[in-house]
Structure 1
Amino acid sequence: MQLSHTRRVASATFDDPNLVSAAGLVPLMRLAQAAGLRELADERMSVPTDKGAHPGLKLSSLVAGMAAGADSIDDMALLRHGGMGKVFTGVYAPSTLGSFLRAFTFGHVRQADAVASRFLLNLADHTNLLGEAHDTGAVMVDIDDTIVEVHGHRKQGAAFGYSGVRGLNALLATVSTDQIAPVIAAQRLRKGSTGSSRGAARLATDALALVRRSRLAGRPVLVRADSAFYSHTLVAAAIKAGAEVSITVRMDPAVKRAIASIPEDGWTPIKYTDAIYDQTSATWVSRAEVAEIAFTAFSSKKKTAQVPGRLIVRRIPDLNPKQADGQGSLFDLWRFHAFFTTTPADQRDTVHSDQVHRRHAIIENVHADLKASALAHLPSGRFTANAAWLVCAVMAFNLTRAAATLTQSAALARATTPTIRRKLITIPARIATSARRLRLHLPVGWPWQQAWATLAAAVGLPAQSAT
């Protein structure tokens, strides 16, 4: 692409009061309105009136700004350009929204958490965000944390976490099935140097309670996590809530003894990197293998606190053995990856259990998605303001994904937030007034016109093509 030689650009002037850069916010915020975002915040939030008057409008403004690409408080100014004031009311200045966030206490953050969970359930009632009522299969609840970078030296709670990045620790619980992409069911912001498992049991309890209140109720639930979350507190909380667990274990002496007791003929080759499928024997020819053995977790605790289950182990060749002097090893060297699960073998065999557990990595995509959007960094010096920012980012994430499900496009329903934003939200438009009604004039030939029109029609906004 290059500039036209026949029609040169003579000038550029910021002088049109009827242009907007994110016309997709119109159907998006119609959906948020239908799901009761403003009413939920007004009903459940008690931020002091000097800073928190109209909490529903301010929370909606923050969510809308994040959906349109804002990743800082100053970026909320993108809601106050061109004709935005004609399309939306109650659009606040960035300084006002910043003061609103800084007025939050820990209790107010928990109120925002309650708004977020109810908002998710309402979105599921208006869209297929949590799938169809007749869907079947297991529900996966994935738990993991990530370090969100901060800038500046006056950030409350900021520290160098396990990733070596100075920031705050965001703990998330996502819900997904074979039919739906992950949505965020619960969230917590913690100081940067905290242990990964701190508060994870409470977070899992909140996420499982949301599953029971949604259309997913009655389906089997599996809680997945990595070794940082292997604790009796989390496992007991999940089992008490009626869920099974699949959690990576640490290589402690009990686990090593269990792995050593697996007979050599107990290993089964699996589909893995460089595996080849043998049509004759209907098996995989692979260096990666899995096996299982009965295992009782937390055997050092009293009998009633011990949890019986299965230890499933995957082994792969150690391609980078330690340098040794003299003669090399006479035997194959293996690296072992083990996880503990309470799922019965008659429901999910060894190979299938390993495949399902490895898909826990899907939550890493959610972390990356948030960091490419509102969580590029945490903007405030106050810890509670950043915690509220995280809750708003989660609501924006779920709202954007819910809107994508209304397009009837399977690809968009599973797309990342930046992709949905580029195709459906940040579409420019010119505003015109006719018969005391606003009309949006969108670009001719927009590649995703059909998806946008389907979304708009689903929320009661007819869209027409040019004739």
Structure 2
Amino acid sequence: MNLSAVCSVVLDSGRESLVSSAGGLLLARTLRCSGLDKALSAALASWRAPRAVHDPAKILTDIAIAVALGGDCAADLAVVRAQPELFGPVASDATVSRLISTLAEDIDAALVAIRTARAHARSQVWARRRPVGGVGNQVIVDLDATLVTAHSDKQGATPTFKYGYGFHPMLAFVDHGVEGSGEAVAGQLRPGAAGSNSAADHISVLDAALAQLPEHERAHVVVRTDTGGGVKDFLHHITDLNLQYSVGFYGMPPIVEALSRVPRQAWRAALDGDGAPREGAQVAELTRYLPATLRGWPAGMRVIARRERPHPGAQLRLTDDNGWRITCFATNTRGWSIPDLEVRHRQRARAEDRIRNLKDTGLTNLPFYGFDQNQIWLEITLLAADLLVWTQVLAFHGQPARRWEPKRLRLRLLAVAGRIITTGRRCHLRLPRGWPWSNLIETGCTALQPS
């Protein structure tokens, strides 16, 4: 019986000039192509000691690359440190720890510096590949909160509404629909007990997200949230900024009263994501049927309801009407049909994909004890997410790889091994023979040239 070739392989203790994350070259080139390296170095210049060997910006971007490659703690920087031919000299764990602690001591100024550099780099990327959030060149910004479990006692970790223990960060993403970028533009770390419907937190994260967008794009923003964002102060803030919104609206008694007044002919067929009628789902506008007791909301607010037959086995709710599952949202958008507005709002669920991907890019674990240190870590995960998305936006425009999630991107492109060859005083990276996506990596490297 013949043994397979795999079983006959014997590990050789010798070492060669290999890299295990050859696709990380794409991330390094994106870093330079976007100008993030220079912008961050200038922003963090005041945190660099006179005789320091490592630039604080280089340290943070090295950690971000490690996280983008799949790391979830500061110790995973060892993956980048082991490949100096690809990523250059990398700071020690002790140096990294000291920098995080130093930035946390002046957390407000540090966050401003990091976010300013990110905004500058984002404007460079958008200038090359302007993302479009939806119909009419809208930029849709989704706000949502998520729970991050803490497996040990950490500063700010508290019980959560789901009977867990940890944190409840609020996040903002650019929609990743057709031609959308899906960037994680802002994040605010909050204790686990923080509420989902806090107007102050929504306002803070929205303002941080708007600051990340190129200034000429901010007038085209549509803010989209679930019912957590359907609070008066937040909607007034959006209205005062002359922006549009599409937010979940809680089924309060005035809504139930309005539903009883809607004539049967007012309901029209809802649409699916492809624009075709959705069987068993209908939409109607409730604005004219709302009672006068519904006060204090912004002028121009429209309330739209969707009703659908619950799937078999679904638990009914108090707001269900005659067997219909009722959901509502509020918007101030004019000129769209009601079914189209409802489809746009329902696509808010794509933010859940962004949250899942961000948790796959370092957010699952907040590795430090101090709350401010973990806020810095959150900013690092946002940097890592930016590097991944910007790489796809710049390198794979019009290709399927443009929409790959981080897990697939790492498996096919970033984690490929390569060999470093030095010849003619230059280092060459050679990819393995027969790797199915080698041409895609080469195409990406060619596209990621400074403009």
| TM-score, normalization by structure 1 | 0.84
Distance 1:180 1:57 in 2: 29
**Does 2:7 correspond to 1:4?**
no
Aligned residues: 432
The superposition leaves residues 202-234 of structure 1 with CA deviations (integer Å, 9 ceiling, x where unpaired) of 2212323443525x456x432110111111222
Unmatched 5+ stretches in structure 2: none
Q: By how many angstroms is 1:459 displaced?
A: 2.7
Task: Report the structure, 1 or 2, having the larger helix content.
Answer: 2
**Does 2:77 correspond to 1:76?**
yes
Q: By how many angstroms is 1:447 displaced?
A: 0.8
Tell me the residue number matched to 1:160.
159
Distance 1:343 1:448 in 2: 43
Unmatched 5+ stretches in structure 1: 278-283, 324-330, 462-467
Q: By how many angstroms is 1:138 displaced?
A: 2.3
Counterpart of 2:62, as a letter, is: S
- In structure 2, the CA distance between the partners of 1:285 and 1:150, relative to structure 1 (3 Å rule), is closer
8 Å contact 2:33–2:449 — kept in the other structure? no
Tell me the residue number matched to 1:101.
100
Tell me the residue number matched to 1:333.
323
Where do 1:297-446 residues align within 5 Å? 306-318=298-310, 332-344=322-334, 347-405=335-393, 406-446=395-435
Q: By how many angstroms is 1:117 displaced?
A: 2.5
The superposition leaves residues 68-114 of structure 1 with CA deviations (integer Å, 9 ceiling, x where unpaired) of 11111111111122xx1233333112332233223223212333232
Counterpart of 1:149, as a letter, is: T
8 Å contact 1:224–1:245 — kept in the other structure? yes
Distance 1:131 1:336 in 2: 31
Q: By how many angstroms is 1:35 displaced?
A: 2.0
- In structure 2, the CA distance between the partners of 1:120 and 1:167, relative to structure 1 (3 Å rule), is farther
The superposition leaves residues 309-336 of structure 1 with CA deviations (integer Å, 9 ceiling, x where unpaired) of 211101123555889xxxxxxx932221
**Partner residue of 1:293 out of 286, 290, 296:** 286
8 Å contact 2:272–2:343 — kept in the other structure? no
| TM-score, normalization by structure 2 | 0.86
- In structure 2, the CA distance between the partners of 1:428 and 1:266, relative to structure 1 (3 Å rule), is same
Between 70-79 and 92-101, the greater mean CA deviation after superposition: 92-101
Give the SS at the match of 2:146: strand
8 Å contact 2:167–2:189 — kept in the other structure? yes
- In structure 2, the CA distance between the partners of 1:171 and 1:438, relative to structure 1 (3 Å rule), is same
Q: By how many angstroms is 1:337 displaced?
A: 0.4
Counterpart of 2:111, as a letter, is: V
8 Å contact 1:23–1:425 — kept in the other structure? yes
Tell me the residue number matched to 1:122.
124
Tell me the residue number matched to 1:143.
143
The superposition leaves residues 51-74 of structure 1 with CA deviations (integer Å, 9 ceiling, x where unpaired) of 996211111111111121111111
Tell me the residue number matched to 2:203.
201
Tell me the residue number matched to 1:29.
28
**Does 2:85 correspond to 1:90?**
no
Give the SS at the match of 1:172: strand
8 Å contact 2:431–2:438 — kept in the other structure? no
Counterpart of 2:81, as a letter, is: R
Counterpart of 2:196, as a letter, is: S
Tell me the residue number matched to 1:16.
15
**Does 2:51 correspond to 1:62?**
no
Give the SS at the match of 2:224: strand
The superposition leaves residues 285-331 of structure 1 with CA deviations (integer Å, 9 ceiling, x where unpaired) of 833221112268997666xx6433211101123555889xxxxxxx9
8 Å contact 2:303–2:329 — kept in the other structure? yes
Distance 1:298 1:247 in 2: 21
Q: By how many angstroms is 1:136 displaced?
A: 4.6
**What is the aligned-residue RMSD (CA, Å)?**
3.1
Distance 1:233 1:439 in 2: 57
8 Å contact 1:48–1:103 — kept in the other structure? no
Distance 1:7 1:321 in 2: 51
Tell me the residue number matched to 1:187.
187
- In structure 2, the CA distance between the partners of 1:87 and 1:286, relative to structure 1 (3 Å rule), is closer
8 Å contact 1:57–1:90 — kept in the other structure? no
- In structure 2, the CA distance between the partners of 1:299 and 1:377, relative to structure 1 (3 Å rule), is farther
Between 388-397 and 259-268, the greater mean CA deviation after superposition: 259-268
